[in-house]
A = this chain, B = another copy of it.
Amino acid sequence: MTIFGAIEAGGTKFVCAVGSSSGGSLRSATIPTRDPDSTFADVAAFFSAARDLGSIAGLGIASFGPVRVNPASPQYGRILATPKPGWEGTDMIARARAFLDVPIGLDTDVNAAALAELAAIGAGLQHLAYVTVGTGIGVGLVSAGRSVHGIGHPEAGHIPVRRHAAHGDFAGLCPFHGDCLEGLAAGPAVAAAWNVTPSHIPEEHPFWEVEASYLAQLCASLFLTTGPERIVLGGGVMKQERLLPLIRGHTRELLGGYVDALRSIEDVERAIVPPACAEPSGLVGAFLLAERSTRSETRGG
């Protein structure tokens, strides 16, 4: 069996694994994210120790952003402007290749998660959005089976949204935009606006409606822009199961019957779903990136 390496590189932790997208992880480790040198030293140690599992054919990196994802760019693989101390300019591919000289595939963590969710759902689907609502709001997009890259990579967590009246004059927490979607609806914004954490909010609290109205605006905008067949909602905030049906309801209301494939509540229930991957979607996506990187190098692509 061919085995691959996977790194889900996040702002708080790096999850490293050896295995494959179909077979899952044979071994994995979670490494706290510190400065690049310390973090990658632990990553290298994990993959060095994992040599007893066999030869690793390729490596996939599902990275936090912003990161240069265009393989034609001289900055390919580099972390761009970020508030994470020490990470700006870090070359994720060079760091990995220093300890594992194999074909390497790289994308954003959320684009990788979108690829993984598309593969997990199967059924001939080609268009999917993966949204994570946690310390930030990240959006990965797959269109016609390929992850979407443009002038950068998707950053739809930062779209402007209509403020909910019950949110009062809460200014929002995004250092770039104040009250963009992430500034109003990510975990830290929820804590700051209501002085609570999502896991401890009573049912009658206005949070639920406010949060659902914001995330529904993202869902409606995505359906109206790239038209995903599925929007997968993951991340820490989405662990509150009361949110999903509220978001579906608000999304259907916002679409107003305009998109013919999303008229009934059953249509919307089928289209907005929780993650289907058995392991974290970003990690499974990293295995997919690894597998694709070895295929494209064989083809000379």
Contacts and interface: CB of A to CB of B under 8 A. Distances in A.
Given A222-B225, A225-B226, A258 B158 contact: yes
Interface string A46-67: 0000000000000000000010
Most chain B beta-carbon neighbours within 10 Å: one of A148, A163, A258: A258
Interface string A212-240: 00000100111111111100000000000
B229 A150 contact: yes
Contacts of A228: 150-151
A259 interface: yes
Interface of A: 66, 80-81, 127, 139, 141, 143-144, 146, 148-156, 158-163, 176-177, 217, 220-229, 254-262, 271
A226 B176 contact: no
Contacts of A127: 149-151
A152 B259 contact: yes
B143 A271 contact: no
9 contacts: A141-B226, A143-B150, A150-B227, A151-B228, A151-B261, A154-B226, A160-B221, A176-B255, A225-B226
A176 B256 CA distance: 5
